[in-house]
Amino acid sequence: MTISVGDKLPDIQLVKATPDGPQPVQSGDYFAGKTVALFSVPGAFTPTCSARHLPGYVEKAEELKAKGIDEIACTAVNDAFVMGAWQQAGDASAVTMLADGNGDFAQATGLSQDSSAFGMGKRGQRYSMIVEDGVVKELNVEEPGDFSVSSADHMLGQLQG
Percent over 70 (pLDDT), the chain: 93
160 contacts: CB under 8 Å, gap ≥ 6:
67, 68
Averaged pLDDT, 61-83: 97
- Distance (Å) of CA 149 to CA 46, 49, 85, 142, 144: 18, 14, 26, 6, 12
Q: Is the dihedral of CA 126, 83, 158, 132 positive or negative?
A: positive
Q: How confident is the model at residue 160 (pLDDT cuts 50, 70, 90)?
A: confident
* Predicted local distance difference test score (pLDDT) of residue 121: 56
Q: What is the rounded distance in angstroms from the CA atom of residue 78 to the CA atom of residue 49?
A: 13
Is there a domain that residue 145 lies in? yes
Give pLDDT tens digits for 84-137: 999 999 999 999 999 999 999 999 999 986 766 666 658 688 999 999 999 999
Averaged pLDDT, 18-41: 96
The rounded mean pLDDT for the chain is 92
Which neighbouring-strand residues pair with 71? 36
| Residues classed as catalytic | 49
Of the candidate ranges 41-45, 112-116, 136-140, the one whose mean pLDDT is the lowest: 112-116
Domain encompassing residue 150: 13-158
* Predicted local distance difference test score (pLDDT) of residue 46: 77
Averaged pLDDT, 22-48: 93
What is the amino acid identity at position 36? Answer: V
Q: Tell me how far the alpha carbon of residue 68 is from its chain's centroid.
A: 17
* Predicted local distance difference test score (pLDDT) of residue 122: 82
Single pTM value for the model: 0.93
Number of structural domains the chain divides into: 1
Beta strands 135-141 and 127-132, pairing class:
antiparallel
Is there a domain that residue 121 lies in? yes
Is there a domain that residue 2 lies in? no
CA angle at residue 113 from 112 to 119, to 5 degrees? Answer: 130
Is there a domain that residue 7 lies in? no
* Predicted local distance difference test score (pLDDT) of residue 110: 94
Is there a domain that residue 129 lies in? yes
Q: Are 120 and 136 in contact (CB under 8 A)?
A: no
Residue 150's domain is classified under what CATH number?
3.40.30.10
**DSSP SS3 for 147:** coil
Closest CA to 16 of 91, 123, 90, 105: 105
Of the candidate ranges 22-31, 48-57, 91-100, 102-111, the one whose mean pLDDT is the lowest: 48-57
Is there a domain that residue 81 lies in? yes
Residue 89: how many CB atoms within 10 A of its CB? 12
Averaged pLDDT, 9-17: 97
Is there a domain that residue 86 lies in? yes
Averaged pLDDT, 139-146: 90
Q: What is the rounded distance in angstroms from the CA atom of residue 56 to the CA atom of residue 146?
A: 15
DSSP-derived secondary structure letter, 52? I
Is there a domain that residue 4 lies in? no
